[in-house]
Amino acid sequence: MIYVTDTHSFLWYLSQDKRLGKNALIAFDSAEKGEATIIVPTIVLAEAFYVCKAKGIDVKFAQLLEKIEIGWNYTSTPLDFNVIKQIQKLDKVKELHDKIIVATAQLLGAKLITKDKEITRSKYLEVIW
């Protein structure tokens, strides 16, 4: 199974935050067991850097990058031309960061790990929470 994660889901999993949804936790745990792959868009990494610095989230950004760098079950994907083309079709999602994350998941044929209500209501893809 392939999942794309949004920023809060990823940070909440790494910091063991209780706000993480049950199915989201199952998805992340399946990646830890080697049964799934978690794709982390570069926009999520940039936003995670900002959140870690600005809000003092209890996850060291260097550890977050290390998890992706050494973990075969975690990988990053860039913001590329195809993602930019895809975001034009996502009128039901307002936030640019969210459009990029949704477009990435769509192009990869992945389920999206997110709590975001606007994304869930859009029905653009399957959401896991």
Distance, CA of 82 to CA of 95 (rounded, Å)? 18
Coil vs helix vs strand at 79 = coil
The tens digit of pLDDT for each residue in 16-61 reads 899 999 999 999 999 989 999 999 999 999 999 998 888 776 677 7
Find the mean pLDDT for residues 110-116.
Answer: 98
Structural domain spans, the chain? 2-128
The CATH class of 2-128 is: alpha beta
pLDDT the model gives residue 58: 64
Instruction: Kindly report, residue by residue over 71-104, the tens digit of the pLDDT.
Output: 779 999 999 999 999 999 999 999 999 999 999 9
* CB atoms closer than 10 angstroms to residue 103: 26
Backbone angles phi, psi at 90, to 5 degrees: -105, 60
- For the record, the structure tokens of 81 come out as 């031309």
Nearest one of 4, 11, 15, 35 to 127, comparing CA atoms: 4
Note the pTM of the prediction, 2 decimals: 0.92
